Every structure is written in C-alpha cells, then in structure tokens.
Amino acid sequence: MNLQSMNNESLMISFTSLVQLERKTTRAVVEHLIEIEKRRAYVELGYPNAIDWLVRHHKMSESSAWRRVNAARAIESTPQSVQKIESGVLNISTLAKTHSVLRNEEKRRGEKISAQDKAKLILEIESKTLRETEITLAQKFPDQPKREVVSAIDGDSFRAHVTLTQAQLLKVRRVREILSHRTPNASLAEILDAALDEFLKRKDPLLKTMKARGSTPAIARGASDAVTRQVGGAWLGETALGETLLSEPAVGSAVPACRDRRRPKLSLANSLLRITNAQCAFVSELTGIKCASKVRLQLDHIQPWARGGPTTAKNLRVYCQSHNLLEARKAFGQRIRDRTLVLNQASNVSLRDTEPVSKPTAVDLRNTRLLVRQQNWPKPLFFFRKMAPTPFEVTLFGRQ
C-alpha cells in the first residue's frame, strides 16, 4: 500500500478501519489475558507472573505489559464491560489506572472492595481521558499514596521522588543524627546508602554467610507419641516456606515419630540461596526457560514433606512462590490454594464441633487457629499454628 498516492479521504478511511481493528484486537487480548491469569498458564512456561511473561516472551515494554494486565484484572470483576473496549468507551490506560487505585485502596483499608462498587466506578470513567479519570479517582479516594517516580539523570545517577509520612521522616532524621560523627550533615542519598548497606549486610544471603550450629537432632514441630499411631485418613503438611499441601496416605500407614525438621536451618537456607544466586531455579520442561525471579523466594521439598521427604540440601530447591505452588498442585491436585486450604473430602467436616456441612469448606488460615475434625476418620486432629517467618505449620495428631 502506497500511502503517498492516496487522497485525504481514502487515507482517513483506511486509518479509521485500522483503529477499529486495533480496538477489536485489544479487546481480544484483554479477554485472553483474563483467562490466562485464571489458569496461570505462563507459570509452566517458566515465568513467575503475567507481566514478566509479556515482557520476556512477547517483547512488550514494561509499561505496555503493566497496562494490559491491570486492564484485564479490572475487567475481570465486570466482564460485561469488555465490549466497551472495542467501541472505544473504555481504554486500557484508564482501566489500568483504576485497577491500580482500587488495589491500593484495598491495601489501605485492609478489606476487599465489592464487585458492585468496582462496576459503578468503571461506569463513571467511561468516555473519559486518562487525566479526567485521575481526577475522578482522586476525588473518590483522596488518601491514595503519591506516585513514586525514578528518572535517569545520566548513566550513573537517578532522581527519585517519594512521599514520606511524618514517622518515616523522623526515622530519616534519626539516622542522620547517628551518622553525624562519620558523615556530618548527611544528604538523603547518603542516609539511604548507609541504611540500605546495613540492612543488606543483615538480610541479604548473598552478603551474609551463616554457619551451622552443632548437630542437635530435630523433630517435626509439635511431634509426640501420638504421631506414631496409624492414621487412616488424609493429613496435611507444608513445604519449607509457606506452601500448604494436602496428601492422602494409604489406610494404616504410620507417620514417623521422629524425622528431620520441616523448616530448614538458617545455615542450610542461606547456603541454598547463595548457590542459586538468590533466584528461582525453576526451568520449564516445555520451553527450557529458567524463571530466575528474585522475589518471594521459597524453599520447596523435591519429595514433599507431606510424603516423607527429608529437609536436606539434596531434597530442597529454591523456587519463587508461583513455581512452588505449581509443584504443589502437580503433586496434590488443584485443591491447593494460596494461603487458603480447601477441605474437599467426601465426608462431612465440622469446625469446633459446629453443625456438619455436606459441601467443601474453605478455611482461611491467615489469622485463624482452628481445630478441624473429620467425622468418619479415627479422630485425627489438625492444629493450625501461626509461626514466623513461614505463614503456617500443620501438625497431625492421630488418635484411635
């Protein structure tokens, strides 16, 4: 197509058809992303999240991937609005901004915003520009955190714009006072540099080597003589750093009275993180791509702890949260959820001797201490105990 030979009318008609095609394609992309996010299909390909998958696999820019993923998440709660992307009433920039604000507001409140309220807000931003949408959101949610901006000045210097609370500012001033002997009148950059150096020395496994202390035998937390008895039902376990698992041993199988500790010692965890350079070691069998994520790292038992796997260097690997959960679902099925355990057994379940229910019961473990009894088992009791740094530890006591 030679654009230079086209008259103005033909050129504008051609452009209009391309815009309509782009909107139609954008709608299809958003719909695909909604389903891909539900399935987490990118995890098996070696990517920890959808944005990383779009950037590394589809070569999108970070901002473009962020807008599309957040637009899909905004539309997920109001699926009827997806048609308005094709008509131009909604666009991915305003949808992504809206989702970001709603997510920050939920974090500030400590509770979810209802789907109805989200749908009403999306109706209010229809046919608005990004600037108009930002004004609407600022009026509805005035307590939103200010945007943090980091811009490059030259090859070695960056300018950061952040908003501090009064308490945070007092901490900055206190650090300046502590540094006054070594660095009088320290600048904010010097204060951050000193504070971050100290934090990394204490917390970064790549900078801190931990040696093992002695060889005192360790047993599973909460283990007792009752654990040695035969148990005929399902029992629960957990991987090294926070993954809840569900397994079903054969009837009459025995749980060992003494086994290596489930949580690895800090020296072992430190050694494994240093070996992997504090990166997720998952490599996709489908694509050969290594995840290499450096956030939300966890230690996963290759042979699950719930199935007798020991806590040893040979049986542990460093995975990000997404790939740790993927392996759990491969081993124990789709009942595994993030921080929520679905008790999906054939028989009834009672919680603290309440009335039995006949349908699967979802138990949120985040701030709960529960006693769960399965009625037709030989009275196995499950104690959910909160612990740090792992979210939960699950110990079984089988009683005849």
Residue 334 confidence (pLDDT) above 90: no
Mean pLDDT for 263-273 is: 89
| Structure tokens, 139 | 């009026």
pLDDT number for residue 222: 34
Average pLDDT, integer, range 81-103: 93
Residue 110: partners with Cβ closer than 8 Å, 6 or more residues away: none
Q: Which residue has the higher pLDDT, 93 or 243?
A: 93
Residue 383 has pLDDT above 60, yes or no: no
CA separation (Å) from 87 to 21, 29, 91, 293? 11, 15, 9, 38
**Distance between CA atoms of 37 and 35, rounded to whole angstroms?**
5
Q: Which two tokens stand for residue 259?
A: 């086994």
Q: Quickly state the pLDDT bin for 341 (edges 50, 70, 90).
A: very low
Higher pLDDT among residues 47 and 147, named by residue: 47
162-174 mean pLDDT: 91
Q: Which residues are CB-neighbours of 283 under 8 A, at least 6 positions away?
A: 46, 289, 290, 291
pLDDT one-digit tens code per residue, 202-248 = 888 888 777 766 544 333 333 322 222 222 222 223 333 333 333 33
Residue 333 falls in which region: left (phi positive, over 0), alpha (psi -120 to 50) or beta: left
pLDDT tens-place string over residues 3-41 = 889 999 999 999 999 999 999 999 999 999 999 999 999
Please state, as a whole number, how many other Cβ atoms lie within 10 Å of the Cβ of residue 48. 23
| More confident of the two residues 337 and 194 | 194
Q: Is the full-model pTM beyond 0.95?
A: no
Residue 337 confidence (pLDDT): 54
Task: Report pLDDT digits (tens) over 269-279.
Answer: 999 999 999 99
- Residue extents of the structural domains in the chain: 3-140, 225-398
| pLDDT at 307 (0 to 100) | 87
Q: How far, in Å, are 37, 100, 133 from residue 90 at the CA level? A: 21, 16, 11
What b/e string do you get for 27-43 counting C-beta neighbours within 10 Å, with b at 16 or more? bebbeebbebbeebebb
pLDDT exceeds 60 at position 393? no
